[in-house]
């Protein structure tokens, strides 16, 4: 299980950790918001020091009821973060969290971004599939019902798993027909899903293996944790680590997280268990 990142193969047979860099003023987890050059530089250094192999930079808050911003504002925010990463850590693997094809193109061609992470799987910009195929970068596509502005307004499924699997099957075929090679799936925990939907999805996570594609899981400090436990995003680290461990046991290849060190430790423990089982 590998993806081609700037001509080098990134091995996902050992799960990788993706550290979140939010250059937004309104992300749901307030401690993740980085605005100044110093804050961004320190966060990037922290992500690298704690062991993440990918930095995922996002400038458009996708929390429920998030304010919609223009592409110009999104690019202005990204530009500062990307310039800082390139200045201090030019070797870093950078993923850009955007649903806009023009933003994806600029970030790859002007700033050397290596991966595009699209919460809408091409639904919010019909040019995205053709763009990422032409750019020849790995493409993370997430399942979301609706948009960030309306996704939590009574999400409904007749059959959750069947609908998500059909969604991905159709999207994968569209991308393959265009010649896309490196596709990563994100089930979209918290995006157009109730608390029960999220746990049903986690319960059946291993079934995504039928696609034979890398699987990214992003549950970090989300409402499926703090609403269940009756606390807050600030208090949801322990629950996050529990769910990350479950996801790893069920086949996740990439963990997208705010708290890198804890996720890296979870990977090490799960991998040790697997090694012991394999050697018995």
Give the DSSP letter string of 150-188.
TTTSS---SSHHHHHHHHHHHHHHHHHHHT---EEEE--
The C-alpha atoms of residue 198 and residue 77 are separated, in whole angstroms, by 31
Q: Are 167 and 145 in contact (CB under 8 A)?
A: no
Query: Quick one: pLDDT at residue 262?
Result: 98
pLDDT score recorded for residue 68: 81
Looking at residue 1, what is its pLDDT? 86
State pLDDT tens for residues 212-239: 999 999 999 999 999 999 999 999 999 9
Length in residues, the chain: 280
256 is catalytic: yes
pTM: predicted TM-score of the whole model, two decimal places = 0.93
Q: Three-state SS for 189?
A: coil
Q: Which fold has domain 2-279?
A: TIM Barrel (3.20.20)
Catalytic one of 256, 268, 272, 274:
256
Quote the CA–CA distance of 77 and 107 in Å, as a whole number: 12
Q: Is 250 annotated in the active site? A: no
- Could you count the other beta carbons within 10 Å of the beta carbon of residue 49? 10
pLDDT at site 24:
79
The structural domains of the chain, with segments of one domain joined by +, span 2-279
Q: What is the rounded distance in angstroms from the CA atom of residue 128 to the CA atom of residue 118?
A: 9
Phi, psi at 70, each rounded to 5°: -75, 165
Q: Mean pLDDT, consecutive 10-residue segments, the chain of 280 residues?
A: 94 97 69 71 94 95 75 92 94 97 98 97 97 98 79 82 97 98 97 95 98 98 96 96 98 97 98 81
Q: Which member of 176, 222, 227, 274 is catalytic? A: 222
pLDDT at position 17 is 98
The percentage of the chain sitting over the pLDDT mark of 90, rounded to a whole number, equals 80
What b-and-e string marks burial along 146-176, b requiring 16 or more CB atoms within 10 Å of the CB?
bbbeebbeebeeeebbeebbebbeebbeebe
N-term to C-term CA, the chain: 24
Q: How far is CA 200 from the centre of its chain?
A: 19
Provide the CB-side half-sphere exposure for 242 (13 A, CA): 11
pLDDT reported for residue 138: 98
Burial of 114 (0-12, 13-18, 19+ CB in 10 A): buried
Res 155: pLDDT: 82
């Amino acid at each position: 299980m590998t993806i081609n990142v700037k001509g080098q193969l990134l091995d996902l047979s050992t799960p990788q950790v993706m550290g979140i860099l939010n250059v937004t003023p309104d992300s749901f987890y307030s401690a993740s918001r980085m605005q100044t050059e110093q804050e961004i530089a320190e966060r990037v250094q922290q992500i690298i020091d704690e062991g993440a192999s990918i930095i995922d930079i996002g400038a458009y808050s996708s929390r429920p009821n998030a304010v919609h911003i223009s592409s110009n504002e999104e690019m202005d925010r990204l530009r500062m973060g990307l310039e800082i990463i390139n200045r201090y850590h030019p070797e870093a693997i950078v993923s850009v969290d955007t649903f806009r094809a023009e933003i994806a193109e600029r970030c790859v061609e002007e700033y050397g971004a290596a991966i595009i992470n699209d919460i809408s799987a091409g639904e919010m910009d019909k040019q995205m599939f053709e763009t990422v195929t032409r750019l020849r970068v790995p493409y993370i596509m997430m399942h979301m019902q609706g948009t960030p502005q309306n996704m939590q307004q009574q999400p409904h499924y007749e059959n959750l798993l069947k609908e998500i699997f059909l969604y991905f099957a159709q999207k994968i075929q569209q991308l393959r027909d265009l010649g896309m090679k490196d596709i990563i799936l994100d089930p979209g925990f918290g995006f157009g899903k109730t608390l029960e939907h999220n746990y049903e999805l986690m319960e059946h996570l291993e079934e995504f293996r039928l696609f034979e594609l890398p699987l990214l899981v992003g549950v970090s400090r989300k409402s499926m944790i703090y609403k269940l436990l009756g606390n807050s995003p600030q208090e949801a680290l322990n629950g996050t680590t529990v769910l990350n461990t479950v996801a790893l046991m069920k086949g996740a290849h990439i963990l997208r997280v705010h708290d890198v060190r804890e996720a890296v430790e979870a990977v090490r423990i799960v991998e040790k268990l697997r090694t012991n089982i394999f050697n018995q």
